[in-house]
Amino acid sequence: MVRVPKIVPWTSTEEYMGVGDSLYSDDAGERRRGVAIVKAWRARGRVPVAVDATASLVDMLDADTSRAAGVTGTRLRHMYAMAMIRFVNSIVDLEQKGAYAQSMAALASRIGMPAWFVELRHACTHEQIPSLAVLRAACEQALGWLGDYYWKKQERVMPADTMDRVRGALLAYKAAYDATRVTEEQQQAEHAGAFNAARAALAELLGVMHADAVRLYVVPVLLEPGLLVPEDKRQRAKFPDCAMPAGWARQWGGLFRLLEETWGATLVFEELLGGIAAALAPECGDAGIFAAADSAPSTSHAAMLVAWVRWILKKHYVPGGESTVSIGDLLEACLRSPGYYSRAVLKAVSDADPTLKRELKPFVDYMGRALAALVAADAAEAKAGKGVAEFSEQTLQDEERLMQERLKEALGGAAEDEDEDEAMDVDAAGAQPAAAQTASGRWAYVAQDAWVPCPIGALSDGSIPALELPAWLDDVPLHATSA
């Protein structure tokens, strides 16, 4: 059964629990901040009565502590009385669920509220208002009771090893699922029990977690190599098409159904898209746009994440209609952090939504031109020899001498001159050895009189060849196309 999302005035559980910490802080300024946030929540609506009552009582105690000139004791008594009346009424009335109204004392007893709170409320409403000392004590005790009755129960602090527990449960689930994919019927029956046990253990672990656990624990683990991303790089998607490997998404259907039953499809897949966006399009730092982040995934890993974006959009996104997922945050993340990976995500969105394709085309084309220019600049820099380490002649000679000494040590003092004569056997006409002639002109020996010592991996002129091509060349046209 899909859970209906609950509308709340706070943006995250961290903000919600932070307000609780502020309201019970020893610092007066922090308490005023918590009260101010609750007042903002009231403007949005749907503030839980316990939160509202806590803020009212804290505000009343702070107002009494920093009493302004002209505020009499009688006025304070009336303010305290109103705060206590609203506190008792709002909390106790929640328990009025039957067809017939029950007494306030019975309802208060059911939830563990001290009986004298109800008596104080009755006295403030129908009799003489108690003294200021009694009201102050009642307000302080009411805050203590709310802390035990409500706020402490909201604390769902997960153990420090929660990430490891989630990872272990998901890996156990995947291993049990893989074990069931055998051909023999007897072995299938044997592994089915283990799979059901692993699924039940995972469901039990996920069931006790707050919804924020999807973003904090489940999604980061799922995006690691070995789960949604195959461990074997040969089984992953490839740029530029980023097509999902055949049958790979099908085996995760059971896990996705379990996650949907626990938190709902909207939360699960929007958080999954958010996790992918954070990995492929991290916020631009000091390095600037189009610069690869230190924590960027490998090319094959990124291609697999883009493939999952395509799959989620195909299954849960309806252009112009009611979709399970919203892609606004995904688009914003990619447009704020342009790069090869974010461009691939924008192309996936364009393929899923023809309307957005027309709107995103200028951005995608701009990223393509910028990346092509970046590749050309890198090639020109490499050709000019910029960024290549400089070596002095003396340094090269010292390195050569050291290498010769080590070679003599390794060969037990073998004659180096004879080895060089055999290796550099070139005739007077400059003919190359047979091994070099079979290279179809790709490689050639340097003439013996023109060769100079150079570091390992460098050419004879001291330059370092660029043998690795960037991943974005797979999707950049070699020739400029007319507009």
Specify the length of the chain in residues: 483
**DSSP structure string for 117-166:** HHHHHHHHHHS----HHHHHHHHHHHHHHHIIIIIHHH--PPPTTHHHHH
Q: Please report, in angstroms and rounded to a whole number, the separation of the first and last CA atoms in the chain.
A: 51
The tokens of 331 are what?
């688009």
Which pLDDT does position 419 carry in this prediction?
A: 45
Which pLDDT does position 333 carry in this prediction?
A: 85
State mean pLDDT over 173-181.
82
Residues 48 and 12 sit within 8 Å (Cβ to Cβ): no
Highest mean pLDDT among 37-41, 59-63, 106-110, 399-403: 37-41
Which pLDDT does position 432 carry in this prediction?
A: 40
Which pLDDT does position 284 carry in this prediction?
A: 46
The secondary structure of residue 38, as a DSSP letter, is H
Which pLDDT does position 36 carry in this prediction?
A: 93
State mean pLDDT over 467-480.
56
Task: Work out the pLDDT band at 471, boundaries 50, 70, 90.
Answer: low
Share of the chain above pLDDT 70, in %: 77
Taking 70 as the threshold, does the pLDDT of residue 238 lie above it? yes
Taking 50 as the threshold, does the pLDDT of residue 209 lie above it? yes
Establish whether the linkage from the previous residue to 240 is cis, with ω within 30° of 0.
Answer: yes
Q: Give the H or E element holding residue 400.
A: helix 393-411
Q: Which of 120-124, 204-208, 338-342 has the lowest mean pLDDT?
A: 204-208
Which pLDDT does position 139 carry in this prediction?
A: 92
Taking 70 as the threshold, does the pLDDT of residue 288 lie above it? no
Which pLDDT does position 417 carry in this prediction?
A: 47
Taking 70 as the threshold, does the pLDDT of residue 41 lie above it? yes
Which pLDDT does position 158 carry in this prediction?
A: 55
Q: Between these two residues, 421 and 177, which has the higher pLDDT value? A: 177
- Express each pLDDT in 323-360 by its tens digit: 888 888 888 888 888 888 888 999 999 998 888 888 88
CA dist., res. 61 & res. 461, Å (int): 81
Q: Which of 220-229, 285-294, 422-431 has the lowest mean pLDDT?
A: 422-431
Task: Work out the pLDDT band at 285, boundaries 50, 70, 90.
Answer: very low
Task: Work out the pLDDT band at 452, boundaries 50, 70, 90.
Answer: confident
Q: Between these two residues, 79 and 448, which has the higher pLDDT value? A: 79
State mean pLDDT over 42-69.
86
- List Cβ neighbours of 265 (8 Å cut-off, separation of 6 or more): 2, 316, 324, 325
CA dist., res. 36 & res. 42, Å (int): 10
Residues 320 and 355 sit within 8 Å (Cβ to Cβ): yes
Which pLDDT does position 384 carry in this prediction?
A: 67
Taking 90 as the threshold, does the pLDDT of residue 304 lie above it? yes
Output the average pLDDT for the chain: 78
225 by DSSP, 3-state: which?
strand
Task: Work out the pLDDT band at 201, boundaries 50, 70, 90.
Answer: confident
The CA distances from residue 212 to 6, 151, 215, 238, 326, in Å, are 14, 18, 6, 32, 18
- List Cβ neighbours of 135 (8 Å cut-off, separation of 6 or more): 76, 77, 80, 81, 84, 120, 129
Taking 90 as the threshold, does the pLDDT of residue 483 lie above it? no
- Express each pLDDT in 13-29 by its tens digit: 778 888 998 999 988 89
Which pLDDT does position 45 carry in this prediction?
A: 84
Highest mean pLDDT among 105-109, 232-236, 455-459: 232-236
